[in-house]
Amino acid sequence: MVNLIKHTKRDNYMHTLQEEMNNLIESVFSDFRPSEKMTSDIKQIWRPSIEMSEADNTYKIKAQLPGLNKEDINIELGKDYLTLKGSKEYKKEHDNENLYRSEFVYGDFLRTISFPTDVDTENAQACYKNGILTINIPKSTKEEETRKLEIKD
C-alpha cells in the first residue's frame, strides 16, 4: 500500500529551504558590521532579532528593537506573513564629542516572517515595552475550502 502525503499550497519546500539558507547566511555575516567612527551619513540595513513561538491556536512573535519609539515601527500583517519595518536614526548627542567607537546599530530594518498556516489578521495585537515588540496573532479558524473538479470531454 502506498502512503499518500497531503500537500497544500504552503508546503513549498523550496521556499522553506530558501528561508533556512537566508537565516544561515545572516547568522554568519551579521557580525561583520563596521565598528569605526559613526556619522549621521552612515546608514546600515539590519534585521532585528526575533523569537517566535506557538501555543494553542496563537503565534507569538517577540522582536528586539531597543532605542526605538513605537512610531518608528511599521507592522504589516497578511494572511500568512508578518513584516516589520522601520528606521533608527543616528543622533549626535553633543557637539564637542567625537565618537571613537560605536557598536550600536542605526539605519533601516526589515524583517518578514512566514507562517505555516493562515492567521486571523483582525484579532492580532501588538505591544511595545522596554525595547521589546510583542505580537500575538491567532491562527485562522477558517477551514480551507476544497472542491471537486469535474473532468470535461
* pLDDT value of position 151: 63
* pLDDT value of position 51: 94
Whether the model clears a pTM of 0.75, i.e. scores above it, the answer is no
* pLDDT value of position 7: 46
In this predicted model, what pLDDT tens digit does every residue of 3-46 receive, in sequence order? 544 445 455 666 677 777 877 777 666 555 544 444 444 456 77
Burial (0-12, 13-18, 19+ Cβ within 10 Å), 61: buried
135 against 149, higher pLDDT:
135
117 against 126, higher pLDDT:
126
In this predicted model, what pLDDT tens digit does every residue of 89-123 receive, in sequence order? 777 666 667 777 777 777 888 889 988 888 998 99
Cross-strand bridge partners of residue 138: 58
Q: Provide the 3-class DSSP secondary structure of residue 14.
A: helix
